[in-house]
């Protein structure tokens, strides 16, 4: 069968636009499996290779993700993550209509190096508790963070976090009613092997690395942490002014 008209818009682009419209208007929900390439080819009356071209274009933009042997899936919308003074993972994720989850990976003892000592207002070598945790929205890992707290001020913080699975609740357990972000530094890197496994992320993908320190209402440092966000799953929003 021949082209009926030369519209000046490539077939693969027409297919890609059609699928994108389907995603935008919810006909294909986030995380859902698209029809097979063959089926798409039939509905649009084009060759399977043309469909693959369309899907490749969508994949490059992060709208879909192909899994060999399984299917092509609609990528979850990037989580909008506003960077405000008051930054609570659970609140941000909940506001996005997702269920926030936290999962303890490891809690151990550590001692303050110079940077952490400066951030927390402690002496170098001061006893610390280091908490490794992964935080998820619904079932999707969003970030892994390494959090350091003073072992003197927050004794046994590791087992407390294992129970409450939320930094906000952990601090509340120690009588901290409120806290806010004192400083935030953002860089990017390639995910390392251990983080890749924890984030369920292929090797080679970029992560957003966030170094942050939270303080209480008297500006006393509470915790400092380094979080690694799967770049393709979040979008930081900086609020100016």
Partner DNA sequence: TCAAGTTGTCTATGATACTAGACAACTTGA
Partner DNA sequence: TCAAGTTGTCTAGTATCATAGACAACTTGA
Q: Can you give the binding site for a second copy, defined by CB under 8 A?
A: 7-10, 12-14, 16, 57
Please identify, using beta-carbon distances, which residue of 11 and 162 lies nearer to a second copy. Answer: 11
Q: In angstroms, what is the minimal distance from the CB of 62 to a second copy?
A: 17
Q: Which does 57 bind (CB under 5 to 8 A by kind): DNA, a second copy, none?
A: a second copy
Q: Which does 16 bind (CB under 5 to 8 A by kind): a second copy, DNA, none?
A: a second copy
Q: In angstroms, what is the minimal distance from the CB of 60 to a second copy?
A: 11
Contact 56, 19 (CB under 8 A): no
**Which residues of the chain form contacts with DNA (CB under 7 A)?**
1-3, 6, 8, 10-13, 34, 36-39, 45-47, 49-50, 52-53, 55, 66-72
Contact 137, 98 (CB under 8 A): yes
For residues 241 and 161, what is the distance between their CA atoms, to the nearest angstrom? 34
Please identify, using beta-carbon distances, which residue of 34 and 171 lies nearer to DNA. Answer: 34
212-237 burial, b at 16+ Cβ within 10 Å, e below that, comes to bbbbbeeeebbbbbbbbbbbebbebe
Q: Which does 66 bind (CB under 5 to 8 A by kind): a second copy, DNA, none?
A: DNA
Q: Which does 175 bind (CB under 5 to 8 A by kind): DNA, a second copy, none?
A: none
Q: What are 3's two structure tokens?
A: 């082209």
Please identify, using beta-carbon distances, which residue of 13 and 78 lies nearer to a second copy. Answer: 13
Please identify, using beta-carbon distances, which residue of 1 and 9 lies nearer to a second copy. Answer: 9
Q: Please report where in the chains the tokens 């402690």 appear, as a residue.
A: 122
Q: Which does 93 bind (CB under 5 to 8 A by kind): a second copy, DNA, none?
A: none
Q: In angstroms, what is the minimal distance from the CB of 20 to a second copy?
A: 12
For residues 218 and 38, what is the distance between their CA atoms, to the nearest angstrom? 62
CB atoms within 10 A of CB 201: 20
End-to-end CA distance of the chain: 59
Please identify, using beta-carbon distances, which residue of 110 and 138 lies nearer to DNA. Answer: 138
- Alpha helices (runs of H) in 96-166, residue ranges in sequence order: 114-120, 157-164
Please identify, using beta-carbon distances, which residue of 15 and 215 lies nearer to a second copy. Answer: 15
For residues 122 and 113, what is the distance between their CA atoms, to the nearest angstrom? 10
Q: Which does 2 bind (CB under 5 to 8 A by kind): a second copy, DNA, none?
A: DNA
Q: Please report where in the chains the tokens 């405000």 appear, as a residue.
A: 84
Instruction: Output phi, psi for 61, to 5 deg.
Output: -90, 0
Q: In angstroms, what is the minimal distance from the CB of 50 to a second copy?
A: 11
């Amino acid at each position: 069968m021949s082209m009926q008209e030369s519209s000046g818009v490539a077939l693969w682009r027409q297919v890609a636009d059609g699928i994108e419209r389907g995603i935008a208007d919810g006909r294909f929900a986030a995380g859902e499996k698209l029809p097979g390439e063959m089926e798409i080819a039939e509905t649009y009356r084009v060759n399977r290779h043309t469909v693959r071209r369309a899907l490749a274009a969508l994949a490059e933009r992060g709208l879909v993700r192909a899994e060999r042997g399984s299917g092509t899936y609609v990528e979850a919308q990037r989580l909008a993550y506003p960077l405000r003074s008051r930054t609570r993972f659970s609140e941000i994720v909940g506001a996005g209509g997702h269920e926030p989850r936290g999962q303890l990976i490891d809690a151990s003892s550590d001692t303050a190096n110079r940077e952490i000592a400066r951030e927390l207002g402690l002496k170098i070598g001061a006893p610390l508790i280091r908490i490794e945790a992964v935080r998820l929205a619904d079932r999707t890992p969003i970030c892994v963070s390494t959090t350091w707290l003073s072992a003197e001020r927050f004794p046994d913080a590791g087992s407390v976090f294992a129970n409450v699975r939320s930094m906000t609740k952990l601090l509340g357990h120690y009588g901290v009613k409120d806290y806010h972000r004192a400083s935030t530094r953002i860089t990017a890197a390639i995910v390392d092997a251990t983080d890749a496994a924890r984030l369920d992320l292929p090797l080679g993908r970029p992560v957003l690395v966030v170094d942050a320190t939270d303080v209480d209402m008297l500006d006393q440092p509470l915790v400092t942490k380094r979080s690694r966000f799967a770049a393709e799953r979040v979008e930081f929003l900086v609020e100016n002014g």
